[in-house]
Chain A
Amino acid sequence: MEEHKIGVYVCMCGTNIAKMVDCDDVVRTASEQPGVVCAKTYKYMCSNPGQEMIVADIKEQGLDRVVVAACSPRMHEPTFRKALQTAGINPYFLEMANIREQCSWVHDDRQVATEKARALTLGATRRVANHQPLERMSVEMCPDVLVIGGGVCGLTAALELADGGNRVHLVERASTLGGNVARVDLTAPYLDSARDLMTALVTRVEEHKKVDVLTRSQVSSLEGFVGNFVATVETIWGDSASVSQFKVGNVIVATGYKEFDASRVTHYGYGKLPNVITSFEFEKMLRAGRVQTKEGKLPQYVAIIHCVGSRSKEFHTYCSRVCCMTALKYAQEVKSAVPSCYVSDVYIDMHAFGKGHEDFYRRGSEAKTLFLMYGKNDHPVIRKAGPGDDCEMLIEVNEKLSGEVIEIPADLVILMVGMEAREDSEAVARLVNISRDKDGWFIESHPKLDPVATTTDGIYIAGACAAPKDIPDSVAQARAAAGRILARTIRGVIDIDAVFAEVTEDKCSGCRVCNELCPYSAITYDADKKKSSVISALCKACGACVAGCPSGAIAARHFTDAQIFAQIEGVLA
């Protein structure tokens, strides 16, 4: 094997790695390996000084292979590849050893964690010696965008993109645009009308020359890859359906949420007690301008119960974020509709996290709303009042702050139902090839640093389909996703990984086993030469053909047998 000059860089990641892994020890072991000419630790390898150190070493010591033992390659592989490129060597001469996510963060014995980090680093060191120089490929980037979901998030994204000059196909399952926000009366905390807000958005979208709106429609398939997807959409017209197909470069998934089904919580009597209603049913009342009981009477006592389906062991453990402020809004709206009404607000904790929320909470307190705190998993109990009571229902609350059991009257009870992932989220995830978390929300590429991208290039998620969100956050994400796409499409081309399969013609026996194995029909067969070959632009580098070839004639670039064998030897050495 040719001689290499390998540099090994072990990141301490502050104390994230150094606390559980003896980084100096990893460096010592690595420096004893053949070909390793320099091995170092540093506090933060991904920082500018860290990268500059690697670049300087490559230039000064003539390194031609680099190992970075640090976080997951899913996190910083692009960063360090760029550093190699800056230093003037092929970016694929890098290999990362994942000693944070898959080592220091998951073990509690420093000695064994260090031993594992040594093994992983050794695996990377052996592997990198076998790396080949690869060039990235440029393919055309279609500027058109598919936006799935016509709620506040999808509409905002569509407008942002269309204003930027890109054609947008906006697909909405329902017959009208607007989504859940269109069902709301006023918005907290500034009490703007949701209707005005949505009307303006919907009108602009419908009139925009660059937006094709497809209502009563569903995306039935999405094929291809970033820059070159082909979407198939089915539209229902009365009894018949039509199918349209178009090319797009990127996709924004903005499918939103659905409200929690209150009848699943049996102790609140929803569906049995006529005057126990959900927040969305109350919005409907507000929009109609009538706050009243089912019997048509003005309520004397209104109770609002928080966290229905949220923050509970039984249903969803997460907070739905918008309900606290919406509940405060209801208290104000009830008071202005029925000034003599007593409002009680029964909550677990008041989450007033956003801009203007604390002030809104204070105003609510000053408006003489009765606040009662209940314990998580110690929910209030609603029962029908007796003939002697001057109210419809009685609510028993084990009030946490006073420590007393308090009974409050109610004529109307509003359940603040939480948000949950739509029942079709699994199908949508499968359609666009993204993942969901345990609650069914779509998973972002990185929860902090890359919130609207996904692990599938060209697929973006925005709004409440990724987790409960309020309107400002959804709008911000819509614009973020649109901005990301605009920035990418402006170049007109996209660089894709140079990782694909290659057939060595001499070894190919023409058996055509690989032709059948390829899920992308990326392998063609030349009947005259009796040889198969890979169309690199179509290959997605899964490697199925490589493992399937009985002659060993196909190589997976960057995942060759030699590279993986060397890594196996390294991790077991």
Chain B
Amino acid sequence: MSFEPKIVGFLCNWCSYTGADLAGTSRIHYAPNVRIIRVMCTARIDPTFVLKALTDGADGVLICGCHPGDCHYSEGNYKMMRRYPLLKSILAEFGIEPARVRLEWVSASEGQRFADIVNDMTQRVRELGPSPVRTALVQDMAER
């Protein structure tokens, strides 16, 4: 059986979570690999959420928020946008491939876009294989 990645999705309540719901009401089918966690705004996403997901066994983390300029809280997504490169550079230090953590903008009307992103990300992470964090943890457990 081919490797099926587990991906945690952090979606903002106003645009992206609503967009994911729209994909549902529109019956747009997509890969089942993303488990969605709702936050009020991408600005709430503490980098530790991403690290926690990776250490708990996620092979990838998808962050979705409102398009720039469309934030319900006017500028929360810009805050995420600024934190994101810092987070990515830390992850790179740990040897986590850039494609495993992804930031995307999905509006409430973009159900199709959300489905496309999930499909694309699932495919990319599938190609990367299991997360090195997960592999290292499993190894660590075995050695104990």
Contacts and interface: CB of A to CB of B under 8 A. Distances in A.
Contact of B39 (A116, A119, A456, A559): A559
B35 to A, nearest CB: 4
A569 interface: yes
A569 B56 contact: yes
A571 B35 contact: yes
A368 interface: no
Contact of A572 (B29, B38, B58): B58
Interface in A532-564: 540-544, 546-548, 556, 559, 561, 564
A572 B8 contact: yes
A435 B37 CA distance: 21
Contacts of B109: 435-438, 443
Nearest to B72: A433
Interface stretch (A103-111, A146-154, A172-180, A242-250): A103-111
Contacts of A443: 108-109
Most buried by A among B28, B29, B38, B47: B38
Interface residues of B, number: 48
A430 interface: yes
A113 B49 CA distance: 25
A256 B110 CA distance: 23
B27 A572 contact: no
Contacts of B52: 565, 568
B95 interface: no
B24 A72 contact: yes
A519 B27 contact: no
A510 interface: no
Interface stretch (A94-102, A199-207, A375-383, A398-406): A94-102
A120 B38 CA distance: 11
A264 interface: no
B115 A106 contact: yes
A561 B69 CA distance: 27
A430 B79 contact: no
B37 A430 contact: no
A456 B108 CA distance: 12
B30 to A, nearest CB: 6
Given A108-B29, A455-B108, A119 B35 contact: yes
Interface string B72-93: 1111100100010000000000
A36 B142 CA distance: 31
A111 B51 CA distance: 29
Contacts of A556: 40, 44
B20 interface: yes
A108 B28 CA distance: 10
Contact of A568 (B18, B49, B70): B49
B40 to A, nearest CB: 5
B27 A106 contact: yes
B79 A517 contact: yes
Nearest to B41: A542
Given A106-B29, A112-B32, 20 more contacts: A74-B17, A101-B24, A106-B115, A120-B36, A433-B72, A435-B15, A435-B108, A455-B18, A540-B73, A542-B72, A542-B73, A543-B43, A556-B40, A559-B40, A564-B37, A568-B53, A572-B35, A572-B56, A572-B57, A572-B58
Interface of A: 72-74, 98, 100-103, 105-109, 112-113, 115-116, 119-120, 123, 430, 433, 435-438, 443, 455-456, 499, 517, 519-520, 540-544, 546-548, 556, 559, 561, 564-565, 567-569, 571-572
Interface of B: 6, 8, 14-15, 17-18, 20-21, 23-25, 27-30, 32, 35-41, 43-49, 52-53, 56-58, 69-70, 72-76, 79, 83, 107-109, 115
23 contacts: A101-B20, A102-B23, A106-B24, A106-B27, A106-B30, A107-B30, A109-B32, A115-B32, A120-B35, A123-B35, A435-B107, A443-B108, A455-B108, A456-B72, A499-B40, A542-B40, A543-B41, A544-B73, A559-B40, A561-B48, A568-B49, A571-B37, A572-B58
Closest 4 CB pairs of A and B: A543-B44, A101-B24, A544-B43, A571-B35
